[in-house]
C-alpha cells in the first residue's frame, strides 16, 4: 500500500494525543491565571475549610471540563489525503474544513517536547506560505505514521524513499557537545543580557501590580529604596552585581544554544536540507531549495578565529502569521567547506569571487552619526532622571568612543555586489552578515529618496521578497538606478518560480 492510499480515508491521531492536548490546555490555563494561584498560596492559611472545599470542587470540575474538551478536540480532529490535497476537519461547536494543495505546503516539520518524548509520539507541523489559519499541527503520531505522512506529501510524484536508506547517509554537518560549547561561548551575550533585563522588568511590573492589589505598595517601595541606597554606596556590590549579570548572560547563552541546537545534524537529500536538532524540544525540519527566499551567513571576530559561522535561512511568510520567527531556520557551527556546499545546493554555478564591492555613500555615515547623537541625548536624559546626579554624564567618556567605533565599522561593512542571478549584501557591526538574494525571488523593488537624500543625490533601494524587506541604504543615485533597473529586468524576464 502506497503512502497516499494509506491516508485516503479520514483518520485520527494516536490516542496518546488526548494526553498531549489535555496538558496543552492546562498549560495555557496556568499561564493565563498563574497570579490567582499565587494569591491562593499566599492566602491559604486564612481561607476557611468550607471555602477551601468549594475551591477544590471548582478546580476538580474545571479539570474534568478540560479533559472533556481535550477528548472532543481529539475526536473531531481528522485528516486525509485526496487528489494531492491535505484535507483536515476539526472543531467542537464551530467545525471547519481545510484543504491545502501539496504545492502550497512549504515545510513538514517533526517536533517532540518532553511529554511527547516520554509517550513516544511526534508532533507534525504542516506549514504554508499563506496565513496562519492554514498552519496545521497534528499533536500525536507515531514516528512511522509521521514519516509516511511526510513522504506522501513531499514525495507524492516520486517513488517512496526507504527510511533506512535515508538514515544511513553521511550527514553534511554534525555539531557535537564541544562544538556547541564553542558556539555558545561566542554568542552575542549582550543580547542575552538585554533579554534578562526585559524579563526582570516584566516580573517587577507583575509584582508591583500584585502589591498594588494587596494594598502593600509602600512596603515594596521601602524595600527597593533601602536596597538601592545600599547599592549606591558600595563599589564592591556594584562590581559584584555586574559580574553576576555577565555570568548569568553567558550561562543563559550556553543554555539557550544547547536547548535549541543540541545534536544538530544536517543532511542533503533530494535537493533539500534536512535538519535535526533540539534537547527538551526535538525538531526535524525539511528545507526545500525552492522554498528558501534568501540566506544570511554570519560570524563575529571570535567565530572567525575559530573558523565557524552560522547560516540563517528565510522562508516565505504572510503578514498574518504571528510567529514570523518560526519561518527563520538557523544552522550553527558551520565551517567554510560546509557553507560552500550549502551555497552550491541553493545557488548552483553562481560565483561572486573577484567582483567589485559597491559601498554606501558618505551620507550613510553622516546619518549614522546624527542618529547616534540623538540616542546619546536620550540616554543621558534617562540616566540623569533615573539617578538625579550629574556624575552620570561621565559615562560619555566610555559611550562616545564606543558609538564612534560602532558607526565606522557599520559603514565599512555596508556594501553590495551582484552577478547575473545573485545579489550579495554585506552589513553588521560586531557581527558580520552576508545576505545572498537570488533576483528571481524579488517580488518588487522600490527606489526611495527623502528630501535630505535628494540634496545629496543618494537613494535607498528596497527589495520586497516573500520573507520580508531587504534594504541597501544611501547609494549614489546613479548606482541605485542601475541596480533598480537590473532587478526589474530580472524579475520581469525570469521564468523561475519564487516558491
Could you read off the pLDDT of 315-324 as tens digits, one per residue? 876 544 445 4
Do residues 414 and 429 make contact, with C-beta atoms less than 8 angstroms apart? no
Q: Select from 259, 288, 310 the last residue of a domain.
A: 259
Lowest-pLDDT range, 44-48, 123-127, 255-259? 44-48
Instruction: Tabulate helix, strand, coil % of the chain (nearest 5).
Output: 55, 25, 20
Domain assignment present for residue 138? The answer is yes
So what's the pLDDT on residue 164?
A: 41
For residue 401, count CB atoms less than 10 angstroms from its CB and return exposed for 0-12, middle for 13-18, buried for 19 or more.
Answer: exposed
Domain assignment present for residue 312? The answer is no
| Same domain for 377 and 463 | yes
> To the nearest whole number, what is the mean pLDDT of the chain?
84
Q: Which residue has the cell 526582570?
A: 200
| Same domain for 26 and 93 | yes
| CA 226 vs CA 107, 210, 221, 449: distances in Å | 55, 20, 9, 53
Q: Which residue has the cell 512596603?
A: 219
Domain assignment present for residue 17? The answer is yes
Domain assignment present for residue 223? The answer is yes
* Residue 394 per-residue DSSP state: G
Domain assignment present for residue 372? The answer is yes
Q: Which of 418, 378, 424 is nearest to 399 (CA)?
A: 378
Could you read off the pLDDT of 285-305 as tens digits, one per residue? 888 888 889 999 999 999 999
Asked if residue 132 has pLDDT above 60, the reply is no
Q: Which of 378, 380, 404, 374 is nearest to 392 (CA)?
A: 380
The torsion defined by the Cα of 478, 480, 486 and 492, in degrees rounded to 10, comes to -130
Neighbours of 139 (CB within 10 A): 24
Number of domains in the chain: 3
Do residues 399 and 380 make contact, with C-beta atoms less than 8 angstroms apart? no
Instruction: Report the Cα 186 to chain-centroid distance in Å.
Output: 19
| Same domain for 164 and 193 | no
Q: Select from 109, 138, 168 the last residue of a domain.
A: 168
| Same domain for 436 and 466 | yes
So what's the pLDDT on residue 81?
A: 92
| CA 247 vs CA 193, 195, 237, 259, 266: distances in Å | 10, 14, 15, 18, 31
| Same domain for 191 and 159 | no
Do residues 465 and 487 make contact, with C-beta atoms less than 8 angstroms apart? no
| Same domain for 162 and 193 | no
Please state at what angle helix 235-261 crosses helix 217-232, rounded to 10 degrees.
110
Could you write out the DSSP letters of every residue in 217-253?
HHHHHHHHHHHHHHHHT-HHHHHHHHHHHHHHHHHHH
Instruction: Report the Cα 109 to chain-centroid distance in Å.
Output: 15
Q: Which residue has the cell 549582550?
A: 190
Could you read off the pLDDT of 439-453 as tens digits, one per residue? 999 999 999 999 999
Do residues 325 and 251 make contact, with C-beta atoms less than 8 angstroms apart? no
User: What does the pLDDT average to over 332-343?
Assistant: 92
Lowest-pLDDT range, 4-13, 54-63, 120-129, 216-225? 216-225
Which grid coordinates belong to 115? Answer: 511529554
Q: Which of 6, 9, 3 is nearest to 151 (CA)?
A: 3
| Same domain for 48 and 164 | yes
3 state SS of 18:
helix
Domain assignment present for residue 319? The answer is no
Domain assignment present for residue 245? The answer is yes
| Same domain for 436 and 495 | yes
Separation of alpha carbons 196 and 190, rounded Å:
10
| Same domain for 196 and 160 | no
State which residues form the domain around 215: 187-259
CATH number at residue 454: 2.30.29.30
Q: Select from 227, 244, 259 the last residue of a domain.
A: 259
Could you read off the pLDDT of 162-172 as tens digits, one per residue? 444 344 468 88
So what's the pLDDT on residue 312?
A: 94
| Same domain for 198 and 89 | no
Task: Give the global pTM.
Answer: 0.79
pLDDT band at 19 (very low <50, low <70, confident <90, very high): very high
| Same domain for 158 and 202 | no
Widest Cα–Cα separation across the chain:
82
Measured in degrees and rounded to the nearest 5, phi and psi for residue 165 equal -65, -40
Radius of gyration of the chain (CA): 27
Strand order in the sheet with 85-90: 78-82, 85-90, 96-101
| Same domain for 499 and 371 | yes
| CA 78 vs CA 70, 104, 106: distances in Å | 14, 20, 21
Separation of alpha carbons 127 and 317, rounded Å:
10
| Share of residues in the chain with pLDDT > 90 (%) | 44
Q: Which of 289, 297, 424 is nearest to 352 (CA)?
A: 424
Domain assignment present for residue 164? The answer is yes
Amino acid at each position: 500500500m502506497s503512502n497516499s492510499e494509506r491516508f485516503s480515508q479520514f483518520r485520527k491521531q494516536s490516542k496518546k494525543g488526548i494526553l498531549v492536548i489535555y496538558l496543552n490546555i492546562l498549560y495555557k490555563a496556568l499561564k493565563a491565571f498563574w497570579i490567582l494561584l499565587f494569591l491562593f498560596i499566599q492566602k491559604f492559611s486564612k481561607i476557611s475549610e468550607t471555602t477551601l472545599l468549594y475551591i477544590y470542587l471548582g478546580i476538580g470540575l474545571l479539570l474534568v471540563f478540560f479533559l472533556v474538551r481535550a477528548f472532543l478536540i481529539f475526536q473531531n480532529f481528522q485528516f486525509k489525503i485526496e487528489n494531492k490535497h491535505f484535507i483536515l476537519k476539526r472543531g467542537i461547536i464551530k467545525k471547519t474544513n481545510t484543504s491545502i494543495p501539496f504545492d502550497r505546503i512549504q515545510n513538514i516539520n517533526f517536533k517532540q517536547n518532553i511529554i511527547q518524548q516520554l509517550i513516544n509520539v511526534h508532533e507534525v507541523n504542516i506549514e504554508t506560505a499563506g496565513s496562519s489559519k492554514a498552519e496545521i499541527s497534528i499533536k500525536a503520531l507515531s514516528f512511522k505514521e509521521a514519516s509516511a505522512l511526510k513522504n506522501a506529501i513531499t514525495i507524492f510524484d516520486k517513488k517512496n524513499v526507504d527510511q533506512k536508506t535515508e538514515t544511513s547517509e553521511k550527514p553534511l554537518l554534525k555539531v557535537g557537545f564541544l562544538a556547541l560549547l564553542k558556539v555558545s561561548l561566542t554568542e552575542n551575550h549582550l543580547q542575552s543580557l538585554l533579554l534578562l533585563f526585559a524579563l526582570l522588568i516584566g516580573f517587577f511590573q507583575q509584582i508591583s501590580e500584585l502589591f498594588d492589589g494587596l494594598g502593600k505598595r509602600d512596603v515594596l517601595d521601602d524595600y527597593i529604596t533601602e536596597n538601592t541606597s545600599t547599592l549606591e554606596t558600595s563599589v564592591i556590590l556594584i562590581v559584584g552585581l555586574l559580574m553576576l549579570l555577565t555570568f548569568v548572560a553567558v550561562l543563559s547563552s550556553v543554555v539557550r544554544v544547547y536547548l535549541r541546537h543540541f545534536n544538530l545534524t544536517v543532511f542533503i537529500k533530494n535537493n533539500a536540507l534536512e535538519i535535526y536538532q533540539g534537547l527538551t524540544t526535538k525538531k526535524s525540519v525539511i528545507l526545500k531549495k525552492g522554498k528558501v527566499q534568501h540566506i544570511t551567513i554570519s560570524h563575529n571576530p571570535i567565530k572567525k578565529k575559530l573558523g565557524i559561522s552560522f547560516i540563517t535561512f528565510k522562508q516565505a511568510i504572510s503578514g498574518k502569521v504571528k510567529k514570523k520567527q518560526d519561518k527563520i531556520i538557523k544552522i550553527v557551527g558551520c565551517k567554510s567547506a560546509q557553507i560552500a556546499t550549502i551555497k552550491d545546493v541553493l545557488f548552483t554555478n553562481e560565483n561572486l569571487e573577484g567582483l567589485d564591492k559597491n559601498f554606501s555613500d558618505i551620507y550613510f555615515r553622516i546619518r549614522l552619526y546624527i542618529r547616534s547623537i540623538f540616542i546619546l541625548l536620550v540616554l543621558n536624559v534617562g540616566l540623569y532622571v533615573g539617578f538625579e546626579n550629574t556624575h552620570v554624564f561621565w559615562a560619555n567618556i566610555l559611550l562616545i568612543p564606543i558609538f564612534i567605533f560602532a558607526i565606522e565599522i557599520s559603514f565599512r561593512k555596508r556594501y553590495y555586489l551582484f552577478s547575473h542571478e545573485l545579489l550579495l549584501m554585506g552589513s553588521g557591526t560586531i557581527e558580520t552578515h552576508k545576505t545572498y538574494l537570488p533576483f528571481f525571488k524579488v517580488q518588487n523593488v522600490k527606489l526611495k529618496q527623502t528630501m535630505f537624500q535628494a540634496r545629496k543625490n543618494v537613494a535607498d533601494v528596497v527589495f520586497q521578497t516573500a520573507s520580508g524587506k531587504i534594504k541597501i541604504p544611501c547609494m549614489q543615485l546613479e548606482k541605485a538606478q542601475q541596480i533598480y533597473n537590473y532587478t526589474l529586468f530580472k524579475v520581469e524576464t525570469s521564468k523561475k518560480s519564487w516558491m
